[in-house]
């Protein structure tokens, strides 16, 4: 380690003596990266938008493969849902039914639409003599009489296939469900939504008596893309502005501020150039790398520039001042960069690929920030005038007073902080695993307001799906098969949190009733396989284009798809219900019908639980590597092991507070400990390195070494913490939950880290090293 530091100091002398050479070297690196990017313009275009839920899963995920296999055998169910609700009364008026009819027709005109389901085109069956007739529930709503309206209302509110699917049980809300055939990245959502919004605006003007909202996969994908763009166009500029304000207050030197901003811009820009050249995927999660890289690059620059200005305050020329600043800060900056990089690389233990991309992007940015801050920054500063603003005695006095306070009150602080830490940590069990993709948006998004309205009035969108095999081709017509399905449906619909089930069984029951002149007593499964097969054939022959059974029945009639829809529930409740249903199936169904749950909500629940476990492993590995590095760099096993406390406790305290204010741990929240470990270790490394250097090089006692560390690095630690909290605090105001949660949790962790270091770790050092 010493040899490495000495080697850099020789290089730093070359940087200070030949700054122009190093500046041109970086210009060449930048030019090469830009040239590489320009040769991959097609790749750059393709990387822009990946906003579908599929991006959260790897191709080798067995459950994801099961979902893909199901989707390959059935018609797509990616949806764009028009939600229509009259301002007064129910939908069974001429105006409302006409609006629904026109929305249905409009939905068919949108690109990629392969099916539209609504109350207006519901395939109502009835018997005409000896013939089964299948037709729309109604057409030309403007011609309907009051008797017609009442008849339609009676049919709709008593038809299970419609209730909670295309109309609410009270009849005051209707859903027009357009099924779209788009790719897994759902990039076509950006093409569909502007056209849908334009059409909806015209319909709102034509039918002012009702409101139209959008819901489903397509609006969610479009909203996710908006959230991604907001990260770049709103969050990052605001964060840059806050950083600029903090730098002005701290450095009070225009040249230092400009150079710092340059390092920030280059760190982010070059990191994303490399990121894209490596073929990584840009998503709402990986886009969050930008503000993280920003803050970490600032920290490196601040440590060097604060020490540089402090040395200038001692009347050294700028060359000597910069050399001493680099001598004091190179090892801790190198260590913090490596340990920060380790923390973010451990995000590759996450189960979800976007977090791999986030960790890798930040790692690239951190290492670039380190290289730029120890080479380009000093080179440019050597070409600029010596700083006019110099640190006076006031800053040192503040730090000295803080040091004296911690020294004098060490016992009270140690006991008080220990109790506070223990109290906050005790709230960690209040957290529960929950991650609902559709709730990633707050109420500022139209799609979230539509979701809340839909769940309140229609039921829910969360669901489990089962592909249930029958015995051979045409086996779905077997009465035993259908009755087993029916038993499960009756059982599952009686469970708490279950809204309803959708199954081919309902079609068979409805056909049997229709062929017995609508007698409700015949809403049951016939006992004759040939009769059921005949029903199905007659029904399919009467279905219009785009409204076939391919969403529920496979081509060979050898299996059906069952969907169980829930009310708004948590991820852990989905897992519990899924396990209960799977157990019921194993107990009550014959071997040939055995099936397991799949679906996006099931996968998200599983991946969230798996992610928590994986990130615990990643955090343990990161802590082990970081501690080993600190032991080697500080030359002390004791200090290396002691560093575990100030690096673990802040995250533990944060999760305690999170248990009080939220209590929900999702994919994003589960990575916070591993992610923030790489950030808060900055405080530990810088303080301990100055403390140990004071003891070894200046032969100071423990209290003097603590005072020296406060005076040397205290201002920089406070300043970088303020900048970090301000920057991540901006993310906390994001309307997109993953970014907001990251901002809030990281800000809290950094704040707790500073408090722990100054008011707990320092008193602990004073106690342990009292006689040294």
Nearest to 19 by CA among 368, 322, 364, 367: 322
Q: Is residue 270 included in any domain, yes or no?
A: yes
Examine the domain organization and report whether 614 and 759 are in the same domain: yes
Cβ 499 vs Cβ 584: under 8 Å: no
> C-alpha dihedral over 221, 222, 226, 232, to 10 degrees?
60
Calculate the alpha carbon distances from 500 to 163, 307, 493, 581 in Å: 9, 66, 6, 14
Residue 73, in any domain of the structure: no
Are 86 and 208 a contacting pair, CB within 8 Å? no
278: domain CATH number is 1.20.1640.10
Most confident of 283-287, 320-324, 513-517: 320-324
- Identify the top-confidence range among 56-60, 434-438, 659-663: 659-663
470, pLDDT greater than 90: yes
- Domain stops at, among 201, 232, 263: 232
Q: Model pTM?
A: 0.83
Question: 267 and 192 share a domain?
Answer: no
Q: Are residues 408 and 263 in the same domain?
A: yes
> Which segment of 87-91, 155-159, 247-251, 766-770 scores lowest on mean pLDDT?
247-251
Whether 576 and 672 share a structural domain: no
DSSP designation for 252: -
Do 271 and 187 share a structural domain? no
Nearest to 224 by CA among 608, 731, 736, 742: 736
Residue partners of 454: CB distance under 8 A and separation at least 6: 81, 83, 173, 175, 213, 215, 461
Average pLDDT over residues 529-535: 92
**19 occurs within a structural domain:** no
Burial class from Cβ neighbours inside 10 Å (0-12, 13-18, 19+) for residue 333 reads buried
541 and 634 belong to one structural domain: no
pLDDT number for residue 1: 52
Whether residue 291 lies inside any domain: the answer is no
CA distance 195 to 188: 11
d(CA 552, CA 617): 41
- 288 secondary structure, DSSP code: G
Using only C-alpha atoms, what is the Rg of the chain? 32
Contact between 514 and 524 (Cβ < 8 Å): no
Cα angle vertex 722, ends 718, 726, to 5°? 170
Kindly state whether residues 609 and 550 are assigned to the same domain: no
Residue 220 lies in a domain: yes
Q: With a cut of 90, say whether residue 649 has pLDDT above it.
A: yes
On whether residue 196 sits in a domain, the answer given is: yes
Is the pLDDT assigned to residue 151 strictly greater than 80? yes
> What's the total number of domains in the chain?
3
Evaluate whether 510 touches 161 at the Cβ level (below 8 Å).
yes
Average pLDDT, stretch 653-665? 91
Q: Report the C-alpha gap between 352 and 707 in whole angstroms.
A: 45
pLDDT tens figures, 607-631:
888 888 888 888 888 888 888 888 8
Which domain, by its residues, includes 478? Answer: 446-597
Higher local confidence (pLDDT), 85 or 603: 85
Calculate mean pLDDT across residues 522-527. 92
Decide if pLDDT at 141 tops 60. yes
Compute the average pLDDT of residues 666-683. 80
Last residue of a domain, one of 558, 576, 597: 597
pLDDT at 75 > cutoff 90: no
Residues contacting 237, CB < 8 A, separation 6+ = none
Task: Note whether 592 and 615 are same-domain residues.
Answer: no
DSSP 207-237: -TTEEEEEESHHHHHHHHHHHHHHIIIIIHH
Q: Is the pLDDT of residue 307 over 60?
A: yes
Question: Looking at residues 243-247, what average pLDDT do you find?
Answer: 83
pLDDT of residue 680: 83
273, 34 Cβ separation under 8 angstroms: yes
**Among 184, 164, 181, 180, CA closest to 172:** 164
Question: Same domain, yes or no, for 455 and 590?
Answer: yes
Taking 70 as the threshold, does the pLDDT of residue 4 lie above it? Answer: no
Residues 409 and 468 in one domain: no
Section 69-81 average pLDDT? 86
The model's pLDDT over 40-55, given as tens digits with 9 standing for 90+, comes to 555 554 444 466 678 8
Whether residue 266 is found in the same domain as residue 412:
yes
Average pLDDT estimate for 259-287:
83
Q: What counts of helices (H) and strands (E) characterise the chain?
A: 29, 11
Asked, for residue 658, whether it belongs to a domain, the answer is yes
Q: Which of 556, 579, 597 is the last residue in one of the domains?
A: 597
pLDDT score of 381 more than 60 = yes
Q: Give the model's pLDDT for residue 5.
A: 62
Q: Please determine, for residue 332, whether its predicted confidence score (pLDDT) is greater than 90.
A: no
Mean pLDDT (the chain) is 87
Residue 734 has pLDDT above 90, yes or no: no
Strand pairing of 131-136 and 123-128?
A: antiparallel
- CA atoms of 629 and 648, how far apart (whole Å): 16
Per residue in 739-767, pLDDT (tens digit) is 888 889 999 999 999 999 999 999 999 99
Is there a domain that residue 434 lies in?
no
> Based on the domain organization, do 214 and 318 belong to the same domain?
no
The DSSP-derived string for 472-534 is: STTGGG-HHHHHHHHHHHHHHHTSTTEEEEE-HHHHHHHHHHHTTTT-GGG-S--S-HHHHHH
Kindly state the average pLDDT of the residues 56-78. 85
């Amino acid at each position: 380690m010493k040899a490495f530091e000495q080697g850099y100091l020789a290089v730093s002398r070359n940087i200070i003596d030949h700054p122009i050479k190093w500046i041109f070297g970086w210009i060449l690196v930048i030019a090469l990266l830009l040239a590489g990017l320009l040769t991959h313009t097609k790749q750059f275009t393709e990387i822009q938008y990946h906003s579908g839920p599929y991006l959260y899963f790897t191709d080798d995920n067995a459950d994801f493969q099961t979902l893909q296999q199901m989707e390959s055998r059935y018609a797509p169910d990616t949806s764009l849902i028009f939600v229509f609700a009259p301002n007064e009364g129910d939908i069974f008026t001429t105006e409302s039914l006409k609006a629904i009819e026109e929305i249905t027709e409009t939905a068919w005109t949108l690109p990629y639409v392969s099916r539209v389901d609504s109350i207006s085109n519901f395939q109502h069956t009835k018997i005409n003599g000896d013939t089964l007739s299948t037709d729309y529930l109604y057409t030309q709503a403007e011609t309907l009489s009051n008797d017609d309206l009442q008849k339609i209302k009676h049919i709709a509110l008593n038809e299970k296939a419609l209730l909670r699917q295309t109309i609410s049980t009270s009849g005051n809300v209707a859903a027009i469900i357009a099924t779209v055939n788009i790719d897994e990245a759902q990039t076509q959502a950006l093409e569909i939504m502007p056209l849908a919004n334009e059409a909806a605006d015209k319909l709102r003007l034509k039918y002012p008596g009702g409101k139209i909202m959008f819901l489903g996969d397509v609006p969610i994908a479009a909203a996710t893309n908006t959230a991604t763009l907001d990260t770049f166009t709103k969050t990052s500029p605001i964060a840059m502005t806050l950083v600029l304000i903090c730098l002005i207050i701290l450095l009070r030197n225009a040249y230092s501020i400009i150079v710092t901003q340059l390092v920030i811009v280059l760190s982010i820009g070059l990191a994303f150039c490399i990121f894209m050249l490596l073929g990584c995927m840009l998503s709402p999660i990986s886009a969050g790398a930008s503000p993280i890289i920003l803050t970490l690059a600032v920290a490196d620059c601040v440590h060097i520039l604060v020490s540089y200005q402090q040395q200038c305050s001692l009347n050294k020329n700028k060359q000597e001042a910069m050399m001493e600043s680099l001598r004091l800060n190179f090892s801790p900056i190198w260590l913090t960069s490596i340990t920060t990089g380790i923390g973010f690389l451990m995000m590759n233990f996450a189960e979800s690929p976007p977090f791999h991309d986030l960790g890798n992007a930040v790692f690239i940015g951190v290492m670039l920030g380190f290289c730029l801050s120890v080479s380009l920054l000093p080179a440019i500063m050597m070409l600029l005038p010596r700083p006019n603003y110099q640190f006076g005695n006031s800053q040192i006095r503040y730090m000295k007073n803080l040091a004296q306070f911690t020294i004098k009150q060490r016992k009270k602080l140690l006991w008080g902080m220990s109790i506070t830490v223990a109290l906050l940590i005790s709230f960690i069990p209040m957290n529960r695993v929950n991650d609902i993709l559709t709730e990633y948006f707050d109420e500022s998004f139209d799609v979230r307001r539509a979701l809340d309205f839909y769940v309140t009035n229609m039921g829910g969108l969360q669901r489990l799906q089962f592909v249930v095999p029958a015995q051979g081709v045409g086996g779905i017509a077997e009465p035993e098969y259908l009755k087993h399905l029916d038993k499960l449906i009756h059982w599952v619909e009686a469970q708490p949190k279950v809204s309803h089930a959708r199954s081919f069984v309902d079609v068979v029951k409805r056909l049997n009733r229709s062929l017995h002149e609508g007698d409700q007593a015949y809403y049951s499964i016939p006992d004759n396989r040939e009769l059921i097969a005949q029903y199905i054939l007659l029904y399919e022959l009467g279905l219009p284009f785009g409204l076939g059974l391919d969403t529920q029945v496979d081509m060979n009639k050898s299996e059906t798809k069952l969907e169980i829809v829930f009310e708004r529930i948590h991820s852990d409740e989905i897992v519990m219900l899924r396990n209960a249903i799977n157990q019921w199936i194993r107990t009550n169904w014959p071997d040939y019908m055995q099936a397991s749950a799949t679906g996006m909500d099931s996968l998200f629940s599983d991946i969230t639980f798996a992610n928590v476990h994986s990130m615990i492993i990643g955090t343990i590995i990161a802590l082990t590597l970081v501690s080993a590095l600190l032991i080697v760099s500080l030359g002390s096993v004791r200090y290396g092991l002691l560093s575990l406390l100030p690096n673990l406790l802040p995250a533990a305290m944060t999760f305690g507070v999170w248990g009080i204010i939220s209590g929900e741990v999702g994919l994003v929240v589960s990575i916070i400990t591993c992610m923030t470990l790489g950030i808060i270790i900055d405080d530990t490394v810088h303080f301990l390195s100055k403390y140990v250097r004071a003891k070894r090089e200046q032969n100071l006692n423990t209290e003097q070494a603590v005072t020296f560390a406060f005076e040397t690095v205290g201002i920089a630690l406070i300043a970088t913490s303020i900048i970090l909290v301000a920057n991540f605090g901006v993310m906390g105001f994001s309307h997109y939950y993953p970014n907001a949660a990251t901002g809030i949790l990281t800000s809290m962790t950094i704040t707790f880290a500073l408090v722990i270091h100054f008011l707990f770790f320092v008193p602990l050092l004073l106690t342990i090293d009292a006689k040294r």
